[in-house]
Structure formats: C-alpha cells, structure tokens
Amino acid sequence: MQKFNITRLLVMLFVLTLFAAGCAKKPVADDAAVTEQPTEVAVIEQQPAAVVEQQVDEAAAARRAAKAAASAAKRAANNLVRVYFDFDQYTLTASAKDQLMSNAMLLKSAPAVKIQIEGHCDERGSDEYNLALGEKRALATKNYLVSLGISANRMSVISYGEEVPLDSANTEAAWAKNRRAEFKAQR
C-alpha cells in the first residue's frame, strides 16, 4: 500500500514536471513535448543491462570484397586526369581530347568502375549561367568518352558551376585551373 502511494506520487510529480515544461513554451509546442517525453523514458527502462549484442552473419567476407573493389575503383578513378576548358566554352580542346583518350583506357581496364563527371567553371560569369555551362562541360566530356567506347550508364554528370574552385585566387592562372571537368568514383 505504502509502496503503491509512493509510485503514485512519483507519477504525479512526473506529470507535473511535464506540465511545467509544457506551460513554459508556446501552446503549439505542447503536444510534441507531452508525447515525446514518455517514450524516451520507456526506452531507457527497456535497455538491457551490460549485455552486448552483435549481428553475426555470413556476408562479411562478401562485404570485405566489395569494399576492396570499391577502393580499387576509387584508385582507378583517382588516376583519371582532369580536363580543362577555355573561357565560356564547353567544346573540348585538342589536349583535353588526348587526356580523355588515356582516361578511356583506364576506364576500360577497370570495367566495374562507375564515375561521376563534375563540370566546373571559373568565378567570372553569372552563377546560374555557370551552372548550366558546367553541366555542358560535364556532358561534352561524357559524350566524348562514350564515343571512345565507354558505356554511358557507367557515367553520371553533375555541375557545380563556380561553387567549388580548385584555386580561389583572382588570377588568369587560377581561373584556367578552375574551368575543368573532374572524375569521381561512384559506388
């Protein structure tokens, strides 16, 4: 009996605290505060004491292999070289085409690798226009790789416009570095 009363008192105190917390906020917040609090308490009560549970499965080896393949893919993608563009242009220069030729070779030797081609611009020009221009650069790069025999569904494109410069200096040299297409490995 005595114990029951103490429990009741504790419950009432808890409810009162909830009320106090609820009243301090705006009425709109009340529902959330009242409904969230009790579930939290329940979770704590249900937690097992000092028993550690771990998932055991037989796919670990497969996962390790996949991870190794992914890092191999990443390594392959890291060897892909950037290509550069002229101001306000998305047509590939002769040297860009040469570089894409060697990139295509790398991609052929690692047929499992999927890549994302990022199009970038220098900071001159309007940001919106540069987002569109960056996409055209990435697409021109992808299309050339396709023409060299790389499957289109191994490659996705994204434009970062002028948002991710390699060199944030305000010089011709920096701008030339920033007008580029880059290659990232994808899982």
Partner 1 sequence: MNKIKFSLFFIVLCLLFSTPALAVKIEISAPGEQTIPLAITRLLPIEEPLQGLAEEFQQVLEADLDLSGLFAQVDPAAFLDDAAKLTLLSTMVDFAQWRMLGAEAVIKGGYRLQGEKLTIELRLYDVISRRLLTGRRYIGKMNDVRKIAHAFADQVLLGLTDELGPFSSRIAYISKRTGHKELYLMDVDGYKPQRLTDHRTIVLNPDFSPTRKEITFTSYKAGNPDLYRKEIYTGRESRLSLKQGLNIGGRYSPDGREVALTLSKDKNSELYLIGTDGTIHKRLTNHYGIDVDPSWSPEGTRIAFVSDRRGNPNVFIVDVHSLEVERLTFAGKYNATPAWSPKGKRIAFARLADRKFDIFSINADGSDERQLTFGAGSKEHPRWSPDGRFLVYSLDRDGEKSIWVMRADGTGARRISAAGAADSHPAWSGRW
- Structure tokens, 94: 């002769």
Distance CA 37, CA 16 (A): 13
Among the listed residues 125, 154, 174, 177, the single contact to partner 1 using CB under 8 A: 125
Min separation Cβ 129 and partner 1, Å: 5
Q: Which stretch binds partner 1 (CB under 8 A): 38-46, 57-65, 100-108, 152-160?
A: 152-160
Q: Where are the beta strands (DSSP E) in 39-174?
A: 83-84, 114-120, 155-161
Position 40 contacts partner 1 (CB under 8 A): no
What is the strand order of the sheet 155-161 is part of? 83-84, 180-186, 114-120, 155-161
Q: Which stretch binds partner 1 (CB under 8 A): 5-13, 44-52, 97-105, 134-142?
A: 134-142
Number of residues assigned to the chain: 187
Per-residue exposure over 87-97, b if at least 16 CB sit within 10 Å of its own CB, e if not: eeebebeeebe
Q: Which stretch binds partner 1 (CB under 8 A): 10-18, 67-75, 105-113, 159-167?
A: 159-167
Position 118 contacts partner 1 (CB under 8 A): no
Binding residues for partner 1, per CB under 8 A? 25-26, 28-29, 88, 124-129, 131-133, 135-136, 139, 157-160, 163-164, 170
